[in-house]
Structures are given as C-alpha cells and as structure tokens.
Amino acid sequence: MPVSGLVLTLSANGGTAAEAISALKARPEIECEAPRGNKLPVAVDTLDRTKDQALWRWINELPGVDFIDVVFISFPEDEDSPEVAEAC
C-alpha cells in the first residue's frame, strides 16, 4: 500500500481553496491536517500503485490546488523484494 506525505499549495482564491479542501476531505484515502496559510499537509494511503497514480492525477488536476510538494513516499509491498533487500 503506497503511503505519501504531501504539502499542497492552495490557490490564493479562498473559495476555490475551500472547495479543494472539501473535495480532498471527502476521499477516504486522504487525511488532511489543518491548513497553514495556503499550505495543506495531507497523508495519502492507497491500496496499490495504480490507485495511487490515479489519485495523484486527480489531486494534480483539482481546481484550488496549485502545487504538490512531496515530503515522503513509501511502497511497503516492496520492502520484502530482493532488490530492496540487496540495496540495504
């Protein structure tokens, strides 16, 4: 299950930003913290990489979200793969 920590930069338009926050909060795979100015910290937890990619595209196209900063990404299902074990 991919897990991402993101900081979203919201639009300067308060109405559009508020609509974006509402849309984000409506998604069960997204957890939003309290906005800090025009920055919105979020955690994303999806079932697989396909759903993760689709959600990222949705966020990227969401009116009211101007930019996405990636803070953390983890693909826990890869932890047991030989490639990851060898890299450690």
Residue 87 has pLDDT above 50, yes or no: no
CATH code at position 69: 3.30.70.260
pLDDT value at position 14?
A: 86
pLDDT value at position 77?
A: 61
pLDDT in tens, 43-82: 999 999 899 999 999 999 999 999 999 999 988 765 555 4
Q: In which band, very low, low, confident or very high, does the pLDDT at 86 lie, cut at 50, 70 and 90?
A: very low
User: Which domain does 22 fall in, by range?
Assistant: 3-87
* Residue labelled with tokens 């996405």: 68
Q: What 3 state SS string does 10-68 have?
A: ECCCHHHHHHHHHHHHCCCCEEECCCECCEEEEEEECCCHHHHHHHHHHHHHCCCEEEE
Assigned token pair, 71: 């803070």
The tally of domains found in the chain comes to 1
Residue 84 has pLDDT above 60, yes or no: no
- DSSP letter at 88 equals -
